[in-house]
Structure 1
Amino acid sequence: MSSFLRLQKRLSRLGIHTTYDHAVYRFHRASDGAHAQLLLPEALPLEEKAVLQLLDFAAVHLPEHPGKVLSARATPDFHPGSIAPVGSIVATSADMVIPAAIGTDINCGMRLIATGLQMKQLLPHVASLKQVLKALLLEDQRDLPVTPQAMWALFDQGLDAWLAALPAAGLWQHADRARMQAELAHILDADKIQADSRYAPEAFFEQRAILRPASLGTVGSGNHFVEIQVVDEILQRHWAYASGLKLGEVVIMVHTGSRDVGFYVGQRWQDKAKAAWPATEKYPTSGLFALAGSSAAEYLLAMGGAARYAWANRISITELVRAGLRQVLGSDHSRVVVDVSHNVVLQEQGMNIHRKGATPAHAGKLALIPGSMGDYSFVVAGLGHPDWLWSCSHGAGRSVRRQAMRQHNASEHNGLPFECITLKPERLREEAPQAYKAVKPVIAAQQAAGLLEPVARLKPWFTFKA
């Protein structure tokens, strides 16, 4: 019996009708009418828990309110999450949001920095560069002062106002402010986000001349990383030329989010959604709660503050890397190629589109899809496929959970060579390459379905994990 037939049989016992055609699973649950689609080659693993999580989100509603889920989709990096499945996209009506569909890692996203250097130019300096970046990224040897005024500017006005208000001290003293301002244009969808300092942590506004937020400029744990890569193959010359990527160029991929600010906002608003449930109604069996009307609008402002902090965090990490390049090489001519989010609600096409571990893939816009640290990563161009909610995957997706990976030997790996620089040995097991799906079929399935066009393939060189 094929894996699909076994899955179909198991789900049927739960009242879920399942079909599979041209790499697309279609699920329908009779009990609540929930339905969803998943793009996934049959050769890649699929867990029943992830399907149930996706259908639970597709079924979210509010008593006596017209707001509802309009569409639920999932990309090939699909796997179970703590609440929401990773690799899922849920579109709701414009006046409804589901805070748990984003969770606490708000605006976790990817940034790609091109160094303008060929690998052979860095090789003589690589040992020094590893040492310097390890100190800056992992050993807390960073100096990132901000002021309360800068944080008010970030939440109430935006990234440009935050940059303008940063003090001329610490890391910012030698940063190229004009370049930083110009690079804001490479942050996708920042213009769709609004925020308000009323919903930000009060600690940012203490009446002190200088603040040093503990999480600013930090990578974070889990699957977050800073990886030094090399452009291994150009797959679409027009897009590669337009983005300035060159064969053999060293690039740096940053994967991190809003850290403690996202946790603060995400947890508070999941609790608010639960507390707002009508006292006369039973809690939904899924434990999932939505917000509507003015409460939904407030959530979007709170989420927007965390999203802006995530962008500020990636900007800070960029400048730490640049400081390291200057220290080792004496100069830095790097530039940001793109910064794209994958844990955020964006108002598009008259809907609220929730992407949990999924990336916007609008026509003519770049996206980043990393593999594991022992597999290739890809720069892709979105094709804007409406059936898949203008989205693509945010990575290859886990195939083995972290708990199970703690029993594995990280050296047992058949993919590309990899080097992980970390202060925590458990990261070598939890995030080992065999914990993830192969990225090639994930990319191929989305290309065949018309979600994206691969632009460049990036080969890992060495990876920093906190």
Structure 2
Amino acid sequence: MGNKLSGRDLIQLGFPKNNAINIALGQINRYRKKEKKASILTEAKEVLLAPEKFKGHGTWGKVAEGLINPVQVRMHQLNTTRAPFSIFGENEIDEQAKFQLYDALKLPIAVSGALMPDAHSGYGLPIGGVLATDNAVIPYGVGVDIGCRMSLSVFDLPASFLKGKDDQLKAILSEHTKFGMTETHKIKADHEVFSRSEFKDIPLLKNLLGKAYKQLGTSGGGNHFVEFGIAKLDTVLPEWKLLPGEYLAVLSHSGSRGLGTNIAKHYTYLATKQCPLPKQVQHLAWLDLNTHDGQEYWMAMNLAGEYAKACHDDIHRRIAKALGKRIVTTIENHHNFAWKEMVNGKECIVHRKGATPASEGQLGIIPGSMTAPGFIVMGKGNPESLNSASHGAGRLFSRAKCKATFTQSDIKKELKKHEVQLIGGNIDEAPMAYKNINTVIELQKELVNVMGTFTPKIVRMDK
């Protein structure tokens, strides 16, 4: 008997010759490879004799499920008709994004869909796509950067505070924000999110805890940013304890870093293995929420969302401390996530991939570009959009097209014209790459009320 566990070993124990064997081997060889084969086989025998006891178990849960209720993997076909949908700002949206939504609406699990005016094509669901499904979650419908979100902190300081402090504020952003794959804070912060039970119970997450701890309070590359600017509040809520006016504010955009990426990759792989689909929609493979993997992804996704919020909280805490000022109010929202929500009287899973939650009375931030204002909004709860709004201006030029079209000189001219200072940033995030945010906001009057704006002044991005 060799040291490595094989399918034959499990069959000799009495395991049936079905998919449960492959699942068992995949889990064991990934998470238990350093353990002795004999002890794993002893445990495997216990699972075989009493699978009910191992339901929900990190390593053996999926195997137990396969023993209790064996499921045949079969090719799913698309419906011939689409689920109902709405498109906002149709003339501003490229055809490929529309066709991606149309395909998603033909999934057997699709209930309803919507496309926001900032939409453009992506992987699986288009960016700006919203899809309600029946008791199933699509990892690529959430996106790779799970819990990618906006966070705006307003200080009780007038906008004039910015004058003459360019060097000081640039230094704060340079020293107290970290971007990209390798930058981390020298002094790490702890957070209650790290004591969550999912980090102990789910083997994948146990392996990612160290990375998550290192990356807390950091931002990714691409279009992620932290910026000082001016929040102009036209309408204020009593709890803000502010009068209408212009204030110093900090806006950040990023997600769940390596934690979210690894969760997305792992469960997308599991979904594609268990839910074969026609080639053009294979990125839309789903996990049934009644299954072990579906439940596990749901827990991991929610943890990644909490972690993304923790990252933003840490970024804003560090900046406030460096400023020596207190944050008065914070407005924040996810825009890459899935929620359990009621749709036409039935609980569904609502995926928002690059879309802002906009239920009645819900606050959110819809950014423009580094030279265009973002908008502070309150949702109207429009059922036609599945209580959603755009997550930004949306791209007009792809990243590749930006590099072929614009130069650093073009970007510098645009920044100078709008009196914006940039630390880092690449050509593929040129302000000219984005749609006109004013047009995009105008196209969603039915979805949100505008309460104010945020105008960037000092922007920090990945180099």
TM-score range, shorter chain: 0.7 to 0.9
Counterpart of 1:264 in structure 2 is: 262
- Does residue 1:385 correspond to 2:385, yes or no? no
Deviation at 1:432, TM superposition (A): 1.4
Deviation at 1:56, TM superposition (A): 2.0
- Does residue 1:129 correspond to 2:169, yes or no? yes
Counterpart of 1:201 in structure 2 is: 205
What are the Cα deviations for residues 167-214 of structure 1, in whole angstroms up to 9, with x where unaligned? xxxxxxxxxxxxxxxxxxxxxxxxxxxx975165334557xxxx8833
Counterpart of 2:226 in structure 1 is: 226
Q: 1:341 aligns with which of 330, 334, 338?
A: 334
Counterpart of 1:91 in structure 2 is: 132
- Does residue 1:286 correspond to 2:259, yes or no? no
- Does residue 1:354 correspond to 2:397, yes or no? no
CA distance in 2, matches of 1:434, 1:387: 31
Determine if contact 2:146/2:260 at 8 Å carries over to the other structure. Answer: yes
Q: Quote the sequence identity (%).
A: 27
Deviation at 1:411, TM superposition (A): 3.7
**Superposed, which structure 2 residues align to 1:33-182 within 5 Å?**
33-35=81-83, 36-40=85-89, 42=91, 44=92, 46-61=93-108, 68-93=109-134, 95-138=135-178, 140=183, 142-145=185-188, 150=192, 152-154=194-196, 156=198
Determine if contact 2:178/2:217 at 8 Å carries over to the other structure. Answer: no
User: Helix, strand or coil: the match of 1:348?
Assistant: strand
Q: 2:318 aligns with which of 317, 320, 337?
A: 320
CA distance in 2, matches of 1:117, 1:138: 25
Counterpart of 1:398 in structure 2 is: 395
CA distance in 2, matches of 1:79, 1:441: 15
Deviation at 1:126, TM superposition (A): 2.7
CA distance in 1, matches of 2:274, 2:397: 36
Deviation at 1:240, TM superposition (A): 8.3
CA distance in 1, matches of 2:389, 2:155: 26
- Over alpha carbons, which structure has the higher Rg? 2
Deviation at 1:138, TM superposition (A): 3.7
One-letter identity of the residue aligned with 1:286? V
Gaps of 5+ in 2: 1-77
One-letter identity of the residue aligned with 2:387? W
Counterpart of 2:369 in structure 1 is: 372
Deviation at 1:33, TM superposition (A): 1.2
Deviation at 1:323, TM superposition (A): 2.5
The TM-score with structure 2 as length reference comes to 0.74
CA distance in 2, matches of 1:313, 1:390: 26
User: Helix, strand or coil: the match of 2:350?
Assistant: strand
What are the Cα deviations for residues 337-366 of structure 1, in whole angstroms up to 9, with x where unaligned? 222111111001111000000011011111
CA distance in 2, matches of 1:141, 1:305: 21
Identify which range, 311-320 or 333-342, moves more after superposition: 333-342
Of structures 1 and 2, the one with the larger relative CO (CA 8 A, separation 6+) is 1
Deviation at 1:117, TM superposition (A): 1.1
CA distance in 1, matches of 2:340, 2:187: 32
Counterpart of 1:244 in structure 2 is: 242
Note closer, same or farther for the CA distance 1:138–1:301 as it changes in structure 2 (3 Å cut). closer
The structure with more helix, counted as a fraction of residues: 2
User: Helix, strand or coil: the match of 1:201?
Assistant: helix
The TM-score with structure 1 as length reference comes to 0.73
What are the Cα deviations for residues 239-270 of structure 1, in whole angstroms up to 9, with x where unaligned? 48857364221111111100101101001110
CA distance in 1, matches of 2:367, 2:115: 17
Deviation at 1:144, TM superposition (A): 4.4
Note closer, same or farther for the CA distance 1:243–1:56 as it changes in structure 2 (3 Å cut). farther
Identify which range, 116-125 or 254-263, moves more after superposition: 116-125
Note closer, same or farther for the CA distance 1:49–1:132 as it changes in structure 2 (3 Å cut). same
Determine if contact 2:388/2:447 at 8 Å carries over to the other structure. Answer: yes
Note closer, same or farther for the CA distance 1:435–1:116 as it changes in structure 2 (3 Å cut). same
User: Helix, strand or coil: the match of 1:312?
Assistant: helix
One-letter identity of the residue aligned with 1:127? D
Deviation at 1:458, TM superposition (A): 2.0
Determine if contact 2:124/2:140 at 8 Å carries over to the other structure. Answer: yes
One-letter identity of the residue aligned with 2:143? G
Deviation at 1:395, TM superposition (A): 0.6
Deviation at 1:390, TM superposition (A): 0.7
Determine if contact 1:380/1:452 at 8 Å carries over to the other structure. Answer: yes
Corresponding pairs, count: 370
Counterpart of 1:189 in structure 2 is: none
Determine if contact 2:415/2:421 at 8 Å carries over to the other structure. Answer: no
CA distance in 2, matches of 1:386, 1:244: 32
RMSD across aligned positions (CA): 2.7
CA distance in 2, matches of 1:37, 1:118: 41
Counterpart of 1:434 in structure 2 is: 432
Determine if contact 1:374/1:415 at 8 Å carries over to the other structure. Answer: no
Identify which range, 363-372 or 285-294, moves more after superposition: 285-294
Determine if contact 2:236/2:244 at 8 Å carries over to the other structure. Answer: no
Note closer, same or farther for the CA distance 1:303–1:248 as it changes in structure 2 (3 Å cut). same
Counterpart of 2:441 in structure 1 is: 443
Note closer, same or farther for the CA distance 1:438–1:132 as it changes in structure 2 (3 Å cut). same
Determine if contact 1:199/1:301 at 8 Å carries over to the other structure. Answer: no
Note closer, same or farther for the CA distance 1:325–1:154 as it changes in structure 2 (3 Å cut). farther
CA distance in 1, matches of 2:459, 2:156: 19
CA distance in 2, matches of 1:414, 1:322: 26
